[in-house]
Structure 1
């Protein structure tokens, strides 16, 4: 067997076993991921994508929430991401589980490869990879969807860029020819990060790669111009290749509240609390996390604990180790914590007031990205350095300071009841004992490093084995019991879930009230809350989006602030016929299937999805909103328009909508009418929709502020609505041009490198 393969076989096998054992329930035991954003965004979004792909269409438009919203343009669902092909493996939700596990594996093995490239031993690289596999920050990302997808490519991107900058030189350790291919790979990885759907992670990733390229490339610490030029080129090329996604996203953001000045309080909502920094040294107890935690107590990142060995590595690097890598990663850790504190950091608040880019980072805790990677990489350097012969001058003061650190930790373990500091103290004692044995020559350094890696594994496994919760996949595959009370085909009507009065009303971003977090997740499914209910074929007038669009946000604000009778009227006039109250469940009601009380109520005056009206009214936006939801307005008699329309009403009007058919990104409506009037379609009005009437382009009108209308003359009509995201055509053109230019450059470069005699032969032949 090749020596290189032998060298890597054991570490890679061990890492594979660790990942396989951790995710065993979702890979082989018919369980699924379900925690937090997985239920609200992950599973519903991937289910919708899978259905669209199966029909041979791209998911431009999602009709199931907020009466219809853009989908691909929102970016965070990563609808154009190539690795979505994993969704087709097995049945759903197995494909989703595999999607998550594969990405976590990319992170782990990339960290191992990067540490080996930096010259660390296989043992030290394994230690860093274990921190990436079981560290609290990275496991927390499993439940945060697009952040995981964009973040995991960072180590591999850093590896490719480092390989490019460490160009071969005579006798150098990385000799072997030019590495322009690594630059092309870097571009591809940035494209994957962009399509992964987390722009904040992309920005942080490029910043990390840039500064690492400046400070960690041997002999180039002061040569910042070349990394600047190269990485600017990589970024611009990746942006051009991703233009088919980014231009539609840019146009959507212009129509969202993200484009507004939302103030400091909004932009620092999820800031890291200073007291949470204690979790760098001792994790919370997650053994009963789902059964003892109430909904309101869950933080953005459930765990910051990266392990005690990484904490000791940070401690040693900050105090004692003085090489370039240790100094750099210590600084990166400090930067991450500085920005993650967000609103709890006065300097951050000051910077936020005039920094437009920083204002886009709505969740400052995301900046712990830097700190987590810093601790991951420092672990390998620490393991390597601790047992080297030249580090003996470092060990004596390290041991002395470590004794003091351990004493403080043990005292804190007694003081902070409920924290897992007893485990942390035990791990600390094991690390200290190994250092003493190695220092006194009682154990070989290679064995000491191996045992330290085992300590890293045991520490993180015991701390985080229950951090990512799993549940029986029937939570997703079996419809909620409450849906059995709905008609077999509830469409084309929408539903609403949850209480309407002030006592029971809760924003959809929160999980339902329950004694603990596990039951609240189960109740989320059982009352068919959005967005999870879309998996079972339900459509909603409300919902959840990561990018709040102006119309959806406005509808939600009006709804939340309205009295009970107005809320019911808003629902009925948004095509909501069925109200899943959540007051009790079907199993509590025996065989009763009445819709007048209990788990489901029916709005008998709910407007149909599409209908014809004989007249119109015009006015400004605020007046239209007040009028449409007013009790004395009859939406079947007139449509409210905010733009002038040439319309001649008829003395007599009668008409009916004969059929309405939905297909991906399209709606087809057939009508018959006597007299001039308007078709009103209670689907969201949004730029990008167009309509043809009897095969000819027609004007699509904004009806009742939120919906669509088309002016029709007497007779039978066939209306065909089509959605193409704004900016998509131009974005596709830019991406295509970037591909053509890239291929041309590759071919030209290849021909220029041909030997002269072969070049002459090609010209002759």
Structure 2
């Protein structure tokens, strides 16, 4: 319990994020087990690469190699079996049960065990890729192997001749440990290839073109397809050259190397709103951005309001692996094979609009955003906003977008100054999240989720200072619990030390 309390500063914010993700309420059985363990891979726990190695492109298995790879060394499983066979202590049986349960869970739909657990155990429906339970099995087997080796060493010592028996037994045990370390050292490092840091961190050519441009956000199209192509050309990752070539597309997350903002990213747990807009690591949901352009043989063809959607998310530039057919994208020199485009008339990071439209559902909002009737320079879509809080809609031809002046003192704070021609809404093209608070001229204001995954605050006519600050209650509560747990731990240690000192003096 103390350990859980100490981790509350991380666990409570994580629980909050989980409740805001598509995993809240549980995943479907089909989605949770879409990536499943290939049962023959059980052999790979004790034999290195029996079905080939993904790092050199020879893997022949029917699952994702890096999710199912659990090689423990040639000696580990045999000595784990020695412990189970010869040691009757409770700890051994507990470890054996954990190993068996971890393997049965990892097998997923291959046995009825995981199906029952999925239906009965609280929280299981929030997880996908059941073979990740291999970490339980592998940890238990490694601990059992240590106990088995100790048991074997004692058995050998008891039966060998006096004098040299203990030294011989210890030497044999040390040899097994050294052999296992050598085994793992020779077979596993290839799964984590290393590249020259200078070459890998060198700025892509497109950054030179962007150096003289005001850059809001950069969107990388077809980054997943380009990565998969590099994987095929590299035969896994035995040759890193294709990956260095692919870096010119500045795929999601790689942009962080050069502090270049991007609207999306590669993450395991995101909010439902982020998943709806930009997609997720999902076999079923690409997000409305990816779902509104199609890849043809030699070009990318945007559909509907795709580029307008990028523009309203403060995307100013686009990188693509092939030509993009859109009059709203202006070609730029990229200095590499990647195609670089400037988005015409992108919306600013923060801006005023006079009209608000209530969005009954996210699906309805997505349809409206990509319809020709939607004008992000005149209106904003609001979710779950009380109708009484909506300023009156202006007459046709009324005020349009007014850009706000934005300062960003830190990653958790935005300050926008706006000259509003009428009552309306300040829209901030940043991801919505409940931990944000807002003030208008120092007075607390309500933040409304807008345009599916943005923020909006109602403001009256005139000049105003609007401050957005990220202060999640979950973090504050978690820090309080962790602080109390740490204080209790320190107090307990001090009390024990004091008591022991008094006992020694007596």
Q: TM-score normalised by the shorter chain: which range applies? A: 0.7 to 0.9
1:620 corresponding residue in structure 2: 360
Q: Determine whether 1:300 maps to 2:66.
A: yes
Contact 2:427-2:456 within 8 A present in 1 as well: yes
Mark the CA change 1:311 to 1:722 in structure 2 (over 3 Å): closer, same or farther: same
User: How far does residue 277 in structure 1 lie from its aligned partner after superposition?
Assistant: 1.3
User: How far does residue 489 in structure 1 lie from its aligned partner after superposition?
Assistant: 4.9
- Give me the whole-angstrom Cα distance separating, in 2, the residues matched to 1:748 and 1:313: 42
Mark the CA change 1:495 to 1:675 in structure 2 (over 3 Å): closer, same or farther: same
Q: Deviations over 1:288-320 (max 9, x none)?
A: 8545369997523463221111132234445x5
- Give me the whole-angstrom Cα distance separating, in 2, the residues matched to 1:289 and 1:714: 61
User: How far does residue 603 in structure 1 lie from its aligned partner after superposition?
Assistant: 2.3
SS across alignment from 2:101: helix
Mark the CA change 1:647 to 1:753 in structure 2 (over 3 Å): closer, same or farther: same
User: How far does residue 600 in structure 1 lie from its aligned partner after superposition?
Assistant: 1.1
User: How far does residue 598 in structure 1 lie from its aligned partner after superposition?
Assistant: 5.5
Mark the CA change 1:512 to 1:483 in structure 2 (over 3 Å): closer, same or farther: farther
1:515 corresponding residue in structure 2: 233
Q: Deviations over 1:114-160 (max 9, x none)?
A: xxxxxxxxxxxxxxxxxxxxxxxxxxxxxxxxxxxxxxxxxxxxxxx
- Give me the whole-angstrom Cα distance separating, in 2, the residues matched to 1:452 and 1:650: 80
2:424 corresponding residue in structure 1: 677
2:108 corresponding residue in structure 1: 342
Contact 1:654-1:673 within 8 A present in 2 as well: no
Of stretches 305-314 and 283-292 in structure 1, the one that deviates more from structure 2 is 283-292
Q: Determine whether 1:255 maps to 2:20.
A: yes
- Give me the whole-angstrom Cα distance separating, in 1, the residues matched to 2:343 and 2:486: 53
- Give me the whole-angstrom Cα distance separating, in 2, the residues matched to 1:495 and 1:608: 14
Given the alignment, which residue of 333, 345, 353 partners 2:119? Answer: 353
Mark the CA change 1:269 to 1:649 in structure 2 (over 3 Å): closer, same or farther: closer
Contact 2:37-2:68 within 8 A present in 1 as well: no
Q: Deviations over 1:406-448 (max 9, x none)?
A: xxxxxxxxxxxxxxxxxxxxxxxxxxxxxxxxxxx9x944444
For structure 2, list consecutive stretches of 5 or more residues without a partner in the other structure.
280-286, 294-301, 324-331
Mark the CA change 1:392 to 1:329 in structure 2 (over 3 Å): closer, same or farther: farther
Mark the CA change 1:676 to 1:606 in structure 2 (over 3 Å): closer, same or farther: same
Given the alignment, which residue of 419, 437, 440 partners 1:690? Answer: 437
Question: When the two structures are aligned, how many residues end up with a matched partner?
Answer: 464
| Equivalence map 1:602-681=2 (5 Å) | 602-621=342-361, 622-642=363-383, 643=385, 644=387, 645-648=389-392, 653=399, 656-657=402-403, 659-662=405-408, 663-681=410-428
User: How far does residue 718 in structure 1 lie from its aligned partner after superposition?
Assistant: 1.9
SS across alignment from 1:374: helix
Larger fraction in strand:
2
Q: Determine whether 1:544 maps to 2:266.
A: yes
Q: Determine whether 1:473 maps to 2:197.
A: yes
For structure 1, list consecutive stretches of 5 or more residues without a partner in the other structure.
1-234, 396-440, 500-504, 585-591, 760-765
- Give me the whole-angstrom Cα distance separating, in 2, the residues matched to 1:299 and 1:389: 38
| Equivalence map 1:93-104=2 (5 Å) | none
Q: Determine whether 1:562 maps to 2:303.
A: no
- Give me the whole-angstrom Cα distance separating, in 1, the residues matched to 2:494 and 2:379: 63
Using CA pairs under 8 Å that are at least 6 residues apart, name the structure with larger relative contact order, 1 or 2: 1
- Give me the whole-angstrom Cα distance separating, in 1, the residues matched to 2:152 and 2:500: 46
1:525 corresponding residue in structure 2: 247
Mark the CA change 1:541 to 1:654 in structure 2 (over 3 Å): closer, same or farther: closer
SS across alignment from 1:356: coil
User: How far does residue 532 in structure 1 lie from its aligned partner after superposition?
Assistant: 1.9
SS across alignment from 1:244: helix
User: How far does residue 550 in structure 1 lie from its aligned partner after superposition?
Assistant: 0.9
User: How far does residue 475 in structure 1 lie from its aligned partner after superposition?
Assistant: 4.9
2:471 corresponding residue in structure 1: 724
User: How far does residue 753 in structure 1 lie from its aligned partner after superposition?
Assistant: 6.1
SS across alignment from 1:578: strand
User: How far does residue 341 in structure 1 lie from its aligned partner after superposition?
Assistant: 0.9
1:494 corresponding residue in structure 2: 217
Give the TM-score normalised by structure 1: 0.54
2:184 corresponding residue in structure 1: 460
- Give me the whole-angstrom Cα distance separating, in 2, the residues matched to 1:449 and 1:737: 44
Mark the CA change 1:686 to 1:385 in structure 2 (over 3 Å): closer, same or farther: closer
SS across alignment from 1:474: helix
Q: Determine whether 1:310 maps to 2:310.
A: no
Mark the CA change 1:593 to 1:331 in structure 2 (over 3 Å): closer, same or farther: same
Contact 1:667-1:720 within 8 A present in 2 as well: yes
- Give me the whole-angstrom Cα distance separating, in 2, the residues matched to 1:735 and 1:634: 48
| Equivalence map 1:91-490=2 (5 Å) | 235=1, 237-284=2-49, 290-292=55-57, 298-301=64-67, 303-318=69-84, 320-324=85-89, 328-388=94-154, 444-490=168-214
Q: Deviations over 1:201-260 (max 9, x none)?
A: xxxxxxxxxxxxxxxxxxxxxxxxxxxxxxxxxx2x233333333222222221111213
Mark the CA change 1:451 to 1:626 in structure 2 (over 3 Å): closer, same or farther: closer
Contact 2:46-2:76 within 8 A present in 1 as well: no
- Give me the whole-angstrom Cα distance separating, in 2, the residues matched to 1:242 and 1:538: 32
Mark the CA change 1:482 to 1:458 in structure 2 (over 3 Å): closer, same or farther: same
- Give me the whole-angstrom Cα distance separating, in 2, the residues matched to 1:538 and 1:578: 11
- Give me the whole-angstrom Cα distance separating, in 2, the residues matched to 1:509 and 1:354: 38
- Give me the whole-angstrom Cα distance separating, in 2, the residues matched to 1:629 and 1:734: 45
Contact 1:509-1:544 within 8 A present in 2 as well: no
User: How far does residue 658 in structure 1 lie from its aligned partner after superposition?
Assistant: 5.0
SS across alignment from 1:616: strand
Mark the CA change 1:290 to 1:484 in structure 2 (over 3 Å): closer, same or farther: farther
Give the TM-score normalised by structure 2: 0.79
Contact 2:80-2:142 within 8 A present in 1 as well: no
SS across alignment from 1:678: strand
Mark the CA change 1:606 to 1:547 in structure 2 (over 3 Å): closer, same or farther: same
User: How far does residue 484 in structure 1 lie from its aligned partner after superposition?
Assistant: 2.4
2:449 corresponding residue in structure 1: 702
Q: Determine whether 1:733 maps to 2:480.
A: yes
